[in-house]
Amino acid sequence: MKNILTKIRKGYGKKLVSIHMWNAWLVLFLALSGLMLVGGFWREILGEGRVWLKWGHIVFGLALLIPVVYYLLLAAKHWKRLKGKSGQKANVIFVLTLLTGWLISGVVLWQFRLAGPRAANAALFVHDLLTWVGLPVIIYHSITRVKWLKEPNKRSITAETVPAGDSPAPIGRPRPAASSEAQPMYTRRGFIKVAVGAGLAVTLGPTFVRWIGKSLQFPGTADYAASNANALIPDPVPLAESAPPIGGGAEGSFRVYTVTDIPAFDNSNWSFTIDGLVDKKFTWNWEEFVKLQREVQVSDFHCVTGWSVYKNTWEGLPLYKLLDMAGVQDEAVTVKLYSGDGVYTDSLTLAQARMEDIMVAVMHDGKPIPNQLGGPVRLVTPQMYAYKSVKWLNRIELIAGDHVGYWEQRGYDIDAWLPNAKRV
């Protein structure tokens, strides 16, 4: 072991340089892929590619372990060289904390099924927080410390000037003397640092503030109800359990997900159909649909990417009651669910569809479901991950075969059960 360590530490200056480089490339890929994975814009464009990108993000994320561990093996030596340079020591600790934080929270998010929603929620919070704090610092670092900007004697990672014992070849240009020549360089450096810092604050600052607001649930930061673009008349009248909501109001905030443009509906372009292998087909318009007897439930909502919204008070039609109204025929095996976006579909087995808590929801916390969140009508599947929760639901078809839904076709598990679900 000692021998190996000595070998590893030999010429460690050069090694630090290459660790730093590999780490930089990994972080660059992870930052870009991570931002693409959360960005709604890319969700639509990537389609199936999103699942591959997610795997790439996971694999390269795990690969971060290599430079981190390799650095730790060299850390003692590096640390000695940083004696007296507290700023650089702080920088090293910051980066190590960032990388290990990303790694650990990333592993929890990757293993969300084992971890369960609570741990996944916490991990997503940490992963996001580190991103919004760490990314600007890293961008600042990489722009302001490119070699030509940095005073050579302030570099913490160099292959040169290693005292007795190691003998790396000096690389890079000769050091400029601390003469009058360096002076204009220094002011330019100062200017660029301020400019980059200000640029980052202006571009990433608002996103960070918005994210903090949502995470800490400041009221009004995610008021989708106020900007609901649906225009369906009349408004559904909430039941007493809905207003005020018996759940006490949802905790957490939805992230708006869609694979198409967000549709909006009015009385002229909205209807709801149940058809296929049924005794009696129905197509309701909005006026008829809001007259159907609704019920209220309180349930939690979990996305596979780690976020949850707890204690939602949903009001709508239990799916099994709609099935009973239509009369399901014996040959029917699968309930196929269509979104009014024209693209997204999913399915449930008949047994799943008959579970009491599967709801064709019309209201959330006493208000119509806004169009961004899938209104006027979305499915709610409390014991399954929310990709089953088809937004803008407008058709239910009973079919004899299987149907593989939108995300399942793109690699999501057919089995969407939550860890502690009562599976049927």
The least distance separating ligand MTE from the CB of residue 318, rounded to whole angstroms, comes to: 19
Please identify the residue of the shown chain whose CB is closest to the bound Mo ion. 303
Using CB under 5 A, pick the residue from 109, 303, 322, 361 that binds Mo ion. Answer: 303
Site for ligand MTE in 293-352 (CB under 6 A): 303, 339, 341, 344
Using CB under 6 A, pick the residue from 373, 377, 380, 418 that binds ligand MTE. Answer: 373
Task: Say whether residue 37 binds ligand MTE (CB under 6 A).
Answer: no
Look at residues 374, 257, 369, 355 and name the one whose alpha carbon lies nearest to residue 306: 257
First-residue to last-residue Cα distance in the chain: 54
Choice between 12 and 265, CB closer to ligand MTE? 265
The least distance separating ligand MTE from the CB of residue 411, rounded to whole angstroms, comes to: 12
Judged by CB under 5 A, which stretch of 28-36, 57-65, 296-304, 339-347 contacts Mo ion? 296-304
Question: Phi, psi (5° rounding) for residue 244?
Answer: -70, 150
Which residues face 136 on adjacent strands?
none
Give which of ligand MTE, Mo ion, none residue 389 binds (C-beta under 5 to 8 Å, depending on kind): ligand MTE
- Please, are residues 370 and 228 in contact by the beta-carbon 8 Å criterion? yes
Site for Mo ion in 367-396 (CB under 5 A): 386-387
Site size toward ligand MTE, by CB under 6 A: 18
Choice between 131 and 339, CB closer to ligand MTE? 339
Choice between 9 and 43, CB closer to ligand MTE? 43
Give CA–CA dist 65/51, Å, rounded: 22
- Please, are residues 343 and 336 in contact by the beta-carbon 8 Å criterion? no
Look at residues 128, 157, 144 and name the one whose alpha carbon lies nearest to residue 195: 144
The least distance separating ligand MTE from the CB of residue 74, rounded to whole angstroms, comes to: 42
Residue carrying structure tokens 């809905």: 242
Judged by CB under 6 A, which stretch of 3-11, 189-197, 265-273, 387-395 contacts ligand MTE? 387-395
Which residues face 324 on adjacent strands?
none
Pairing state between β 367-368 and 345-349: unpaired
The least distance separating ligand MTE from the CB of residue 385, rounded to whole angstroms, comes to: 7
- Please, are residues 339 and 393 in contact by the beta-carbon 8 Å criterion? yes
Cβ neighbours of 336 (radius 10 Å): 19
DSSP H or E segment with residue 300:
strand 295-302
Judged by CB under 6 A, which stretch of 8-16, 87-95, 206-214, 381-389 contacts ligand MTE? 381-389
Task: Say whether residue 374 binds ligand MTE (CB under 6 A).
Answer: yes
Give CA–CA dist 125/122, Å, rounded: 5
Look at residues 204, 80, 200 and name the one whose alpha carbon lies nearest to residue 141: 200
Give CA–CA dist 15/11, Å, rounded: 7
Choice between 245 and 374, CB closer to ligand MTE? 374
- Binding mask 60-89 toward Mo ion (x if CB under 5 A, else -) reads ------------------------------
Cβ neighbours of 86 (radius 10 Å): 9
- Binding mask 239-278 toward ligand MTE (x if CB under 6 A, else -) reads ---------------xxxxxx-------------------
- Please, are residues 371 and 318 in contact by the beta-carbon 8 Å criterion? no
- Please, are residues 252 and 120 in contact by the beta-carbon 8 Å criterion? no
Choice between 132 and 257, CB closer to Mo ion? 257
The least distance separating ligand MTE from the CB of residue 257, rounded to whole angstroms, comes to: 4
Q: What angle do CA 47, 52, 54 make, to 5 degrees?
A: 95
The least distance separating ligand MTE from the CB of residue 302, rounded to whole angstroms, comes to: 8
Choice between 100 and 253, CB closer to ligand MTE? 253
The least distance separating ligand MTE from the CB of residue 263, rounded to whole angstroms, comes to: 9
Give CA–CA dist 9/83, Å, rounded: 18
Binding residues for ligand MTE (CB under 6 A) = 254-259, 303, 339, 341, 344, 373-374, 386-387, 389-392
Binding residues for Mo ion (CB under 5 A) = 303, 386-387
